[in-house]
Chains A and B, each alone.
Chain A
Amino acid sequence: MSRKVTRRDLLAGAAGAIGAATLAPAGQRVHAQDTTKSPGGPASALGARSRHEPLARGRVTSLSSRTPLQDLHGMITPSDVHFERHHGGVPAIDPDDYRLLIHGLVERPTMLTLAELKRFPATSRICFLECSGNYPTGAGPETRPELVCGMTATTEWTGVSLATLFREVGARSDATWFLAEGQDAAVMTRSVPMEKAWDDALIAYAQNGEALRPSQGYPARLLLPGWEGNSNVKWLRRLELADQPFMTREETSKYTDPLADGTARQFSFVFDARSIITSPAYPDVVEPGWIELRGIAWSGRGTIAQVDVSTDGGRTWQAAQLQEPVLRQAHTRFRHLWRWDGSETEIMSRATDDTGYVQPTRAALRAVRGRRARGYHLNPITAWRIQPNGQVYYREEPPWDA
């Protein structure tokens, strides 16, 4: 072996390129690669991904990017591929300059530094976070899972219970709503019922065990388990307690749902149950024989109780296996073994949560939401069409307003 081992080789994990291949007598390789005959790369400060396993958020625009659901295997979303949706860009906040103001209907209007926030008793919560607009109206057959509903992610969030902070400042009994405001260029504001604060809301400063990523609200954000992403205000700088909602733009002309009956649903915080098969999916090509259908299910209402899978276009359904732990308001993995006979069919999944809510078909959802739905809070069953040649396609839906 004459070639010098370079740092680049080691960092790239390309040890096989420098190891001796095991040669058969005729000079042909029995095994393509033998990494056991020379030391591998050294330890490092940060663990990089294998160069064979690139992972990246999909459809990156200046305003958003998507979690590559089809490339993931677990319930926790790696922090660097958590979807993004910003309204005024990602602010660069110096943690030493960070302040959180709590005022309004409180006994003691209070200013907190980041260090002070971290002194309060900490608590952690594993839950999903999902963008309110997570449905691909008008998607064609060549649509990957990340483009169907990639604006959802599950994370272990750590921070301070909002109830702890509201007790600290002396929240008054006549406070029924609070305003959460960010320090991004949109100065994002949403009104949140006080019940959520007393129930399970957090001010989160950590994400999967480390400080929040800037794109997730560093150094601190509001976290409302199971509630629409937009209300989980990032880069949080102000909480104002009041006796009614503030009627901000994001809770009136945006993030509301026109309904078929002529009313518009407002404060649609809680996500209904949803699921999607993430494998196989477009652009996979499958072979006849055994296939494990894999996917995720989640509900803002509670815990996933059951996921049913159909491999015959929705005519019959079988209960899929749920991967433990099954946590409240968190992505839940499901799997189902299926033997494909090679004929054209459609596969789909349907989630049921512990409130008895069943994920609707697109037709059922449209009957309630009407022809002029605005793309928020849509959770219909997603189907994949498998052609006889094994090519998997997203099953197109008719135009929403048809």
Chain B
Amino acid sequence: MGRVTLTGTFAARMVVAVFASGVAGFLLAAPAGAQNVGGGAEQGAPPQFGFGRAATAEEIAAWDIDVTPDGTGLPEGEGTAASGAPVYARQCAVCHGASGEGSIADRLVGYTPETTPPFGPRYEEWRGDGPDVPYSVGNYWPYATTLFDYIRRAMPSNAPGTLEADQVYGLVAWILAENGLIAADETMNATTLPAVEMPARDIFVPQER
């Protein structure tokens, strides 16, 4: 969460983001009105034990690599499908297939029904007697930002965490373009990636607990 692109409901996280960026130094104070919450304290337990030490901004920045749907956490840099294609061929194709069709690892590219996710009554009507549409990034990933987060942290699986930001942006652009979700020449960066509309954006509902 090193970069600050915060609006609306994410405003409360700004303190964290600014802190992690190192720009404003140690901004540890909570905003007015914040208070500790939670129950279950054992009888006789002190409010604080004083174990551990304050984490430094550098320590937090080094580990805080998550990227959220509004783009918080996206680094500087950019890429296009054209810049991502050779990276894909070298780093990804062996497991995901030359065209993202899937192999020993997941399918990334697939036909996306325009009017329905790849399941449910409208899908069955759309499909008729035709073959099933595979699940893919194009029809079952609700947020484009998750692609960046996941590729940067966990891919390629034989050397995770080794891709540069520009390479990750390029791979994300390639996958999105192959799925027909962005134009072939569109540049992906911290501003454009969160704005990509994913077909599966609104199909998810939380389990009732």
Q: Are A242 and B53 in contact, with the CB atoms below 8 A?
A: no
B25 located at the interface, meaning its Cβ lies under 8 Å from any Cβ of chain A in the complex: no
Partner of B141, one of A101, A172, A252, A372: A252
Q: Which of B56-64, B79-87, B177-185 contacts A (4 or more CB under 8 A)?
A: B56-64
Interface size on B, residues (CB 8 A): 69
CB distance A119 to B49 under 8 Å?
yes
Besides A110-B54, A247-B69, 8 new A-B residue pairs in contact (Cβ under 8 A), listed by A number: A116-B52, A172-B34, A181-B63, A185-B161, A187-B160, A189-B149, A258-B118, A262-B116
Inter-chain contacts of B120 with A (CB < 8 A): 258-263, 370
Which of B48, B132, B142 interacts with A168 by CB under 8 Å?
B48
Q: Given A112-B51, A243-B12, A374-B135, check contact A256 B204 (CB 8 Å).
A: yes
Confirm or deny: A197 has a beta carbon within 8 angstroms of a beta carbon on chain B. Answer: yes
Whether the pair B38, A197 counts as a contact (CB closer than 8 A) is yes
Contact of B66 among A167, A185, A199, A246 (CB under 8 A): A246
Min CB–CB distance A159 → chain B (angstroms): 14
A172 & B30 in contact (Cβ 8 Å cutoff): yes
Q: Which of B132-171 contact A (CB under 8 A)?
A: 132, 135, 137, 140-143, 145-146, 149-150, 153-154, 157, 160-161
Q: Does the CB pair A248–B66 fall under 8 Å?
A: yes
User: Residue on B with the closest CB to A123?
Assistant: B42
Q: Given the complex of chains A and B, what is the CA–CA distance between A371 and B119 in angstroms?
A: 8
Cα of A256 to Cα of B135 in the assembled complex, Å: 12
Question: Knowing A185-B154, A252-B142, A253-B141 touch, does A266 contact B34 (C-beta < 8 A)?
Answer: no
From residue 191 to 209 of chain B, which have CB atoms closer than 8 A to chain A? 200, 203-207, 209
A209 to B27, CA, bound (A): 41
Contacts A189-B153, A244-B9 known; A270 to B30 CB distance under 8 Å?
Answer: no
Binding site for A on B (CB under 8 A): 9-10, 12-13, 15-16, 19-20, 28, 30, 34-42, 45, 47-49, 51-56, 59-60, 63-66, 68-69, 116-124, 132, 135, 137, 140-143, 145-146, 149-150, 153-154, 157, 160-161, 200, 203-207, 209
Assess whether B37 is in contact with A171, with CB atoms less than 8 Å apart: yes
B117 pairs with A103, CB closer than 8 A: no
Query: Chain A residues near B154 (CB, 8 Å)?
Result: 87-88, 185-187, 249
Whether A101 lies near B59 (C-beta < 8 A) is yes
Closest B residue to A267 using CB positions = B206
Cβ A112 vs Cβ B52 within 8 A:
yes
Q: Pick the 9 closest A-B CB pairs, nearest first.
A: A262-B120, A372-B119, A112-B52, A258-B119, A249-B150, A266-B204, A187-B153, A109-B55, A111-B55
With beta carbons under 8 angstroms apart, the residue of A112, A120, A168, A172 that contacts B35 is: A172
Q: Size class of A's contact patch?
A: 35 or more
How far apart sit A374 and B139, CA to CA, in the bound complex (Å)?
A: 14
Report the minimum CB–CB distance from A161 to chain B (whole Å).
7
- Given A185-B160, A197-B38, A267-B206, decide whether A119 and B51 contact each other with a Cβ distance below 8 A: yes
Interface string of A92-114 (1 = CB under 8 A from B): 00000000011111011111110
Complex: how many Å from CA A174 to CA B207?
A: 22
